Structure 1
Amino acid sequence: MYGLIGKMTAKAGERSALAALLLAGLTGMPGCLSYVVAEDPADPDVLWITEAWESQDAHRASLSLPSVQAAIAKGRPLIAGMETVAETRPIGGHGLG
């Protein structure tokens, strides 16, 4: 398995709109085991994205899907900053099989 934990900072006042875009395109991503979008309770502009994939290749392939490309195009104007906090290797957990 392959995992990512990312921190995304929305432009001021745009966090809800950005979260809605991220959550709207979650279907039809082959190899995606888990994709969680969470609000940071201490910062009104920050979202945390936690992902688990069957493989790093499955994650890479998802970036070329039309639905993902459309979400990126719509979301880009709402984003003030992005960073990958960690790459992980999930070994199991609820919902991961």
Structure 2
Amino acid sequence: MENKYLLHGKLTAKPGQQKELADILIQASQLVSTAKGCTLYAVSHDQEDENAVYVTEIWDSKDDHDNSLKVEGVRELIMKAMPILDGAPTKGQELEILGGVGI
């Protein structure tokens, strides 16, 4: 299987702002879904943690992921999200895909 790039990260919103953060990330998913190499950009949450939002991304390569940050409108959404984050975002987990269906 060709090596793809998987990034899984948790962002924590300030209390009461999880939905707003999730909405921003869903907007980002719509922008990057057309970027070269985007296989998956999923936004999710854990019902046990009312402030956390998770993003799971699969790209053909790390370069494709890095280039997605240059898609028009993405930087603006990042700037919109920063003030509602509870602290700086932590680096996401870079995981190696071993196999599965649909990837």
TM norm structure 2 = 0.83
Higher strand share: 1
Q: Gaps spanning 5+ residues in structure 2: where?
A: none
Computed over aligned residues only, the root mean square deviation of the Cα atoms, in angstroms, reads: 1.5
Answering whether residue 61 of structure 2 is matched by residue 55 of structure 1, we say yes
Identity rate, percent: 35
Q: Answer yes or no: is the 8 Å Cα contact 1:5–1:84 preserved in 2.
A: no
Give the Å deviation of 1:18: 0.6
Q: Answer yes or no: is the 8 Å Cα contact 1:3–1:50 preserved in 2.
A: yes
TM norm structure 1 = 0.87
* Counterpart-to-counterpart distance in 2, 1:21 and 1:29: 17
Between stretches 77-86 and 46-55, larger displacement belongs to 77-86
Q: Paired residue for 1:26?
A: 29
Q: Answer yes or no: is the 8 Å Cα contact 2:29–2:42 preserved in 1.
A: no
Q: Gaps spanning 5+ residues in structure 1: where?
A: none
Count how many residue pairs are aligned between Structure 1 and Structure 2: 96
Between stretches 16-25 and 74-83, larger displacement belongs to 74-83
Q: Paired residue for 1:78?
A: 84
